[in-house]
Amino acid sequence: MASHSPELVIPVPAPHRDAMKAFPSDALLLGSGVTVLGALRCLARVGISARVASEDSFAYRSSRWYRSAPPVRCELPDYLASLPGGVSVLIPCSDKWVRDVAALPQGLHERFPSSVPPAAVLDRFVDKGLFSELLEAEGVPHPRTIIVDRSFDVGRLDSLDRFFVKPRNSQLFHRRFGVKAFLPASFLDLAGKLDLVREAGLGVMLQEYVPGSPADHYFVDGFVDAQGRIPAVFARRRLRMHPPHFGNSSYMVSIPVAEAQQAVDDVTRLLRATGYRGIFSTEFKRDSRDGIFKLLEVNARAWWFVEFAAKCGVNVVEMAYRDALGQPVEEVRGYRVGRRLIHPYYDVFACLLGSSSRAGGLMTFVRSLPGADQPVLRWDDPLPALREFAARSSGFVRRRLPGAVRR
């Protein structure tokens, strides 16, 4: 494997794709939170230097590999043009940043290469309304979906039939309401929820809630290179989640591809049909009524647990880096299965809610810890976990004992 300079020190005048292969290049991570920390570690484990452009105060700033770039306080093209000379591979870690990177003028792609889908392709995956239409057109099994526009009338529904309100832009919706979706309890409640999102100027749709347990959620992650080749596919299964219904995975396990073969075949066909390129993470739910895997969404970027995939043997962040530079991406022929990951902060609540007693829930949680990976705690990079624990503990005390912390 080629060595890389720990610092960006070599200027590359009038860079060209062939010239890039000859120069050490670093990576510029755009995003925040656990996803950035995971991507940073994925690159560090293979000797690739990275900088982070974010104003986020998350604990990754204490990582041993963290190097800051100037914060982005203007439009991305202007920001990149202001950086000192040299080649930096852009690795977006959120929907907003992957959109901005895909929309960059061609003149910036030489100096700031990336491995992301073309803007027109990306829109069909990120906008959940367009995504629903794409799945329908390609014949990929998915939940029944109704696009909601301003003329939509709740009275046209015969029944709620387990519909929930799903945003077209997940990040904007979560930022506004603090949840991933709304599960209405009645027609009146549904009408009220739709009024809320209309007042916020957000687009939504109604989607059928696929019946099943958290363990019916399967994820197919991987990478598509510039030639449309898929050198790696990684499958995992959710075991617990928090909050219920629309939360995040709190406990999961890597599984053989064969356990989710229908899902793998469907997403592979979808990505090839659309001309997709770059990192992907797809979520399916196996319908308990018919056993069919229904595709729920696709993340067109690195995701929360991207480092877990790398620990199992599928480092998609490294693949994105090499593909952006025009370097070959090696095929992954196998990975470690049966490896578990736990997110302690969320999983303790999942265990408590899933148990008939507090003691039983805590025992389930404690028994799951030995041998399981964690998204923040890493023994060769412990400070992010210590900072996160301190921050969460402080927040817990302030919420539970407000009088004790007032001065």
Q: Which of 98, 117, 136 is the last residue of a domain?
A: 117
pLDDT above 80 for 151: no
Residue 91 forms part of a structural domain? yes
In this structure, are residues 150 and 215 in contact, taking their beta carbons and an 8 Å threshold?
no
CA distance 140 to 284: 11
Residue 237 forms part of a structural domain? no
For 314-351, the pLDDT digits (tens) are 999 999 999 999 999 999 999 999 999 999 999 999 99
Find the largest Cα–Cα distance for the chain: 66
CA distance 16 to 192: 55
**Can you state the angle between helices 261-274 and 119-126, rounded to 10 degrees?**
140
For position 12, what pLDDT does the model report? 28
CA distance 393 to 374: 18
pLDDT above 80 for 25: no
Q: Which of 152-161, 201-210, 343-352 has the lowest mean pLDDT?
A: 152-161
pLDDT above 70 for 81: yes
Q: How long is the chain?
A: 407
Average pLDDT over the chain reads: 87
Closest CA to 250 of 356, 353, 163, 173: 353
Q: Which of 208, 224, 247 is the last residue of a domain?
A: 208
CA distance 316 to 280: 9
Q: What are phi and psi of 54, to 5 degrees?
A: -165, 150
Question: Which CATH number goes with the domain that contains 188?
Answer: 3.30.1490
Average pLDDT over residues 372-393: 89
Closest CA to 125 of 335, 244, 279, 320: 279
Q: What is the CA radius of gyration of the chain?
A: 22
CA distance 313 to 332: 8
For position 323, what pLDDT does the model report? 97
Please indicate, yes or no, whether residues 21 and 76 belong to a single structural domain of this protein.
Answer: yes
Q: CA 278: distance to chain centroid?
A: 13
Q: How many domains does the chain have?
A: 2
At 305, list the tokens.
């647990």
Q: Which of 135-144, 176-185, 282-291, 309-318 has the lowest mean pLDDT?
A: 176-185
Residue 72 forms part of a structural domain? yes
Please indicate, yes or no, whether residues 163 and 102 belong to a single structural domain of this protein.
Answer: no
The residue segments making up the domain with residue 54 are 17-117
H/E segment holding residue 234: strand 232-242
Residue 379 forms part of a structural domain? no
* Tokens 């969320």 sit on residue: 346
Residue 296 forms part of a structural domain? no
Q: What are phi and psi of 143, to 5 degrees?
A: -65, 150
CA distance 124 to 204: 15
For 221-280, the pLDDT digits (tens) are 999 999 999 999 999 999 999 988 888 999 999 999 999 999 999 999 999 999 999 999
3-class DSSP state of 254: strand
* Tokens 């792609």 sit on residue: 109
In this structure, are residues 339 and 373 in contact, taking their beta carbons and an 8 Å threshold?
yes
Average pLDDT over residues 3-27: 39
Question: Which CATH number goes with the domain that contains 22?
Answer: 3.40.50
Strand partners of residue 384: none
In this structure, are residues 384 and 62 in contact, taking their beta carbons and an 8 Å threshold?
yes
Please indicate, yes or no, whether residues 102 and 173 belong to a single structural domain of this protein.
Answer: no
Residue 199 forms part of a structural domain? yes
Share of the chain above pLDDT 90, in %: 62
Buried/exposed code over 175-188 (b: 16+ C-beta within 10 A; e: otherwise): eebeebbbbbeeee
CA distance 170 to 403: 36
CA distance 280 to 256: 18
